[in-house]
Amino acid sequence: LVELDRAHLVHPVASYRGHERRGVRVLKSGSGATITDASGRRLIDGFAGLWCVNAGYGQNSIVEAATRQLRELPYATGYFGLGSEPAIRLAAELAERAPGDLNHVYFTLGGSDAVDSTVRFIRYYYNAKGLPQKDQFISIEQGYHGSSTVGAGLTALPAFHAGFGVPLDWQHKIPSHYAYRNPAGSDPQAIIAASLTALRGKVDELGADRVAAFYAEPIQGSGGVLVPPPGWMKAMRHLCSELDILFVADEVITGFGRTGPLFACSEDGVIPDLMTVAKGLTSGYAPMGAVLMSDDVYDTIADGAGASAVGHGYTYSAHPVSAAIGLEVLRLYEAGLLENGRKAGARLMEGLRSLSEHPLVGDVRGRGMLAAIELVVDKERKIPLPASADPSRRIFDRAWDNGLVIRAFGNGVLGYAPPLCCTHDEIDAIVERTRMTLDQTLEDP
Ligand code: PMP
């Protein structure tokens, strides 16, 4: 498999051939929060795959729901006015639980195409209102919104732009709220004020009559788990209303119990105009994402001038097997997974905070089962680990050898997003194996 992988399988990467040097690690099976590789080594998956296997591995009821649907009807298109029962039911269940009047659900295959779809819907929305000049989009530095052309352009991570001709000329950024390294300081009110000033300034610069929408993750995930101060989302949402631009919450990572509740926006007291979800929606058991839209956005697009002339859809939109999985995953969240995740999340945060005293740990941050620690060689001056230590690869490898999968971001940030089904013992093991990994890194950077 390692040889075949080297020869033929192109991995999703920020730089090519990294995995080829070491050889792929083939994963064989999973159960709960544990995965087993082809050599029989068992590890705790502290990152739930790619922040997605929220329900954990080997959940029989999900497998049964998928199998039933595969037998009954493996595929139905949403075109030609057709549909399938699981997709209709899942849309209704999501609408019922989503904040405010996000009552209309468009299913995609994942997060990137959900983000792409929001851009199209927003353009159609303003066209229908006779405001086609509102075609400029704003997102945030360190933000991640996908790997497609449009999504990568809204994303603000250099590796996703390099050599790719993005961002597109209608995609703009404002600085992140990144508290640990914020020029505005670490005071929450100062950070909120700086973000409000930056958004207002960008909208003034572009012209309020030109700006369509502002995108925010409730917690910036791929940028390094950057948690805004309490009240930040609400303040940004209010400013968008005041400036008459749409507010899009990208909950691809934060949705489905990752931060505690089903949607982080509910906890933030925010009702966005559009919301994107994926990952935990099907908990990684099948590809699926979704855009949730307010009554105003959907009704304007559907009834507006020109609506009959637009087209947008994927062959696998509203896939019945993914939807059947989504329904069962949703049932599991409410039958105890969210509750367990909240308890495990509190223990995870407490455990990681206990590492604050470690000489390498500059910052510990997170909410619920979404967390990160940021490593530095000098705490006072917040100096990152030297690039020569190749923190990403070496720390990932060390943690792996210690029986733990974590995300090691290139800048010495370690990311945590364990399955919500983690037991207390598994959470404690995640913290202890991290401590072991840090001690080894201190001894031999
Ligand atoms: N938005 C956010 C906030 C994400 O974290 C991601 C994926 N990490 C995406 C969009 C893109 O989702 P996908 O990888 O499923 O296309």
208 and 136 in contact (C-beta within 8 Å)?
A: no
Q: Domain of 279? A: 62-331
Q: Are residues 293 and 378 in the same domain?
A: no
Q: Are residues 347 and 320 in the same domain?
A: no
Structure confidence at residue 18 (pLDDT): 64
Domain boundary among 331, 358, 383: 331
CA-closest candidate to residue 54, choices 260, 272, 206: 260
Structure confidence at residue 444 (pLDDT): 86
Q: Are residues 261 and 372 in the same domain?
A: no
pLDDT in tens, 308-336: 677 888 999 999 999 999 999 999 999 99
Structure confidence at residue 116 (pLDDT): 98
CB of 146 closer than 6 angstroms to any ligand 1 atom: yes
161: which 2 tokens? Answer: 């732009």
pLDDT(389) > 90: no
Q: Which of 116, 119, 144 to mutate to test the pocket of ligand 1 (most atoms within 8 A of CB)?
A: 144
Mean pLDDT estimate for the chain: 94
H-helix or E-strand spanning residue 387: none
Structure confidence at residue 295 (pLDDT): 96
CB of 139 closer than 6 angstroms to any ligand 1 atom: no
CB of 213 closer than 6 angstroms to any ligand 1 atom: no
Q: How many residues does the chain have?
A: 445
Q: Are residues 379 and 278 in the same domain?
A: no
Atom of ligand 1 nearest to the CA of 254: 3
CATH of the domain at 325: 3.40.640.10
Q: Which of 248, 279, 292, 370 to mutate to test the pocket of ligand 1 (most atoms within 8 A of CB)?
A: 279
* Residues paired with residue 34 on neighbouring β-strands, in sequence order: 31, 44
Q: Taking the mean position of all CA atoms in its chain, how far away is CA 114?
A: 12
Q: Which of 47, 54, 145 to mutate to test the pocket of ligand 1 (most atoms within 8 A of CB)?
A: 145
Nearest-angstrom CA–CA distance, 440 and 445: 8
**Looking at residues 363-372, what average pLDDT do you find?**
98
Structure confidence at residue 311 (pLDDT): 81
Main-chain phi, psi angles of 422, to 5 degrees: -55, 140
Interface predicted TM-score of the whole assembly (ipTM), two decimals = 0.99
Q: What is the DSSP string of 43-83?
A: EEETTHHHHT-TT-B--HHHHHHHHHHHHH-S---SGGG--
pLDDT(15) > 60: no
Domains in the chain: how many in total? 2
341 and 368 in contact (C-beta within 8 Å)?
A: yes
**Looking at residues 161-169, what average pLDDT do you find?**
90
Nearest-angstrom CA–CA distance, 51 and 407: 9
Domain boundary among 331, 356, 375: 331
Q: Looking at ligand 1, which residue's alpha carbon is closest to its atom 10?
A: 145
Q: Are residues 359 and 290 in the same domain?
A: no
> How far apart are the CA of 276 and the centre of ligand 1, in A?
9
Structure confidence at residue 16 (pLDDT): 58
**Looking at residues 190-210, what average pLDDT do you find?**
97
Q: Are residues 12 and 127 in the same domain?
A: no
pLDDT in tens, 82-93: 999 999 999 999
CATH of the domain at 370: 3.90.1150.10
pLDDT in tens, 215-230: 999 999 999 999 999 9
CA-closest candidate to residue 420, choices 35, 97, 27, 52: 52
Give the angle subtended at the CA of 119 by the CAs of 117 and 125, to the nearest 5°.
100
Q: Mean pLDDT lowest for which of 135-139, 313-317, 363-367?
A: 313-317
Tell me which residue has tokens 């990684």: 284
Q: Are residues 168 and 26 in the same domain?
A: no
Nearest-angstrom CA–CA distance, 147 and 144: 9
Q: Are residues 151 and 200 in the same domain?
A: yes
Domain boundary among 331, 347, 376: 331
Q: pLDDT grade, residue 435 (50/70/90)?
A: very high
> How far apart are the CA of 207 and the centre of ligand 1, in A?
29
113 and 290 in contact (C-beta within 8 Å)?
A: no
Q: Are residues 316 and 373 in the same domain?
A: no
Q: Taking the mean position of all CA atoms in its chain, how far away is CA 362?
A: 24
Structure confidence at residue 303 (pLDDT): 87
Structure confidence at residue 388 (pLDDT): 63
Structure confidence at residue 334 (pLDDT): 98
Structure confidence at residue 383 (pLDDT): 92
Tell me which residue has tokens 């949705």: 255
Q: pLDDT grade, residue 159 (50/70/90)?
A: confident
Tell me which residue has tokens 């923190």: 391
Q: Are residues 351 and 403 in the same domain?
A: yes
Q: Are residues 51 and 141 in the same domain?
A: no
pLDDT in tens, 32-66: 999 999 999 999 999 999 999 999 999 999 999 99
Q: Are residues 154 and 32 in the same domain?
A: no
* Residues paired with residue 220 on neighbouring β-strands, in sequence order: 226
Structure confidence at residue 401 (pLDDT): 96
pLDDT(17) > 70: no
- Whether the pTM exceeds 0.95: the reply is yes
CB of 278 closer than 6 angstroms to any ligand 1 atom: yes
Structure confidence at residue 4 (pLDDT): 85
Main-chain phi, psi angles of 398, to 5 degrees: -65, -45
**Looking at residues 133-160, what average pLDDT do you find?**
95
